[in-house]
């Protein structure tokens, strides 16, 4: 029993800082240590709106209102999902790595986006959640969409996104 409790304590102590690390950079850059700052008072910065448990800043408001925005995108569709024949997306449908789909953390499932990269354009539908916040990316394209845009070789790239229709 002593071994089990020490193992649990070790897991808790090692995992607690991992959750806190996500906000360290944000706290340092937003001035959390300055009295009267947003982090200290909880007040939004000028041009911010509250959505989904956090403030949307001016550059992100286009996502919520149906406008255009720029995003750092990557593609997914290899790895473990390629080997699982019936892996499911957040919308419940079967993942098709050659489909014209994408993953985004906050846009509603079913939203259609026009994505442009280096003169190439495609239309994708949001059917999954991701990428992880700590990656710095805000859009994950399926392998099929990334291939059409020419994003496969570089892996990531800054894309222009226009929200066409929201569900």
73 half-sphere exposure, CB direction, 13 A CA radius? 31
Task: Assign a CATH topology to domain 49-165.
Answer: Barwin-like endoglucanases (2.40.40)
pLDDT per position in the chain (167 positions), as tens? 677 777 766 676 666 554 444 444 444 444 444 444 444 444 444 444 444 544 444 444 444 455 899 999 999 886 666 666 678 889 999 888 899 999 999 999 999 999 999 999 999 999 999 898 888 899 999 999 999 999 999 999 999 999 997 76
pTM of the model: 0.60
Encoding tokens for residue 147?
Answer: 């291939």
Distance between CA atoms of residues 79 and 61, nearest Å: 33
The three-class DSSP label of residue 131 is coil
Give the start-to-end residue ranges of the domains of the chain: 2-41, 49-165
Q: Give the model confidence (pLDDT) of 41-52 as tens digits.
A: 444 444 444 445
């Amino acid at each position: 029993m002593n071994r089990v409790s020490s193992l649990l304590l070790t897991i808790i102590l090692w995992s607690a800082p991992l959750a806190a690390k996500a906000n360290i950079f944000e706290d340092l850059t937003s001035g959390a240590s300055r009295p009267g700052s947003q982090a200290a008072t909880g007040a939004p910065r000028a041009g911010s709106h509250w959505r989904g448990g956090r403030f949307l800043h001016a550059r992100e408001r286009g996502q919520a209102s149906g406008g255009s925005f720029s995003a750092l995108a990557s593609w997914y569709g290899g790895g473990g999902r390629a080997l699982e024949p019936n892996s499911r997306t957040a919308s419940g449908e079967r993942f098709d790595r050659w489909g014209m789909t994408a993953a985004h953390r906050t846009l509603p499932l079913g939203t259609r986006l026009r994505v442009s990269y280096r003169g190439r354009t495609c239309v994708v539908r949001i059917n999954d959640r991701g990428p992880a916040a700590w990656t710095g990316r805000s859009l994950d394209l399926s392998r099929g969409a990334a291939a059409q845009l020419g994003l496969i070789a570089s892996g990531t790239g800054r894309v222009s996104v226009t929200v066409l229709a929201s569900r």
